[in-house]
Amino acid sequence: IGEAAKLSIVFLASFFPIYLNVFSGFKQIDKSYKELAFMLRLNRMERFKHIEFPASLPNIFTGLRLGFGYSWRALVGAELIAASSGLGYLIGDAGEMSRTDKVFVGILCIAVLGVLGDQLFQLFGKRLTPWMKNKW
């Protein structure tokens, strides 16, 4: 399969976890924050910038972390099934040739890159939401 097909598979795998977490993050904002915005007479953009977006950032990063995990799995799966390059292709090709060393290297690369990607999202989440120290 081509790059466009891989991108569409990755997009479809990651869209809904990200969307649902962002949506629930904005829906779970405490009503007292909305009252505060009303009392301070904030317009819609100021309310979004100073109250709604910062309050929903933890959910946004949770969605990004979940979306990354789903998309990483989908990408490797798509490469494993029908591709001519990538780690999934490397594992499938090495498996057909009985090259267990290459299979293990491919699996190890997938695991290491997945953990590093998740740690990066977690680090960015901690840096951008310092008020959530105990939640991460």
Q: If you search the block for the tokens 């950032």, which residue do you land on?
A: 57
CB 62 within 8 A of CB 19: no
For the residues 1-24, what does the mean pLDDT come to? 89
Residue 45 pLDDT greater than 90, yes or no: yes
CB 25 within 8 A of CB 59: yes
Tokens of 76: 């490797």
Residue 1: CB atoms within 10 A of its CB come to 13
As a whole number of Å, the end-to-end CA separation of the chain is 38
pTM of the model: 0.80
In whole numbers, what is the pLDDT of the chain averaged over residues?
89
For the residues 11-40, what does the mean pLDDT come to? 93
124: helix, strand or coil: helix
Residue 86: CB atoms within 10 A of its CB come to 16
For residue 114, CA distances in Å to 56, 65, 73 come to 25, 10, 9
pLDDT digits 0-9 by tens, 113-136: 999 999 998 999 889 888 877 665
For the residues 51-78, what does the mean pLDDT come to? 91
Question: What residue type is assigned to position 51 of the chain?
Answer: I
pLDDT digits 0-9 by tens, 67-87: 999 998 888 888 788 777 788
Confidence (pLDDT) at 11: 93
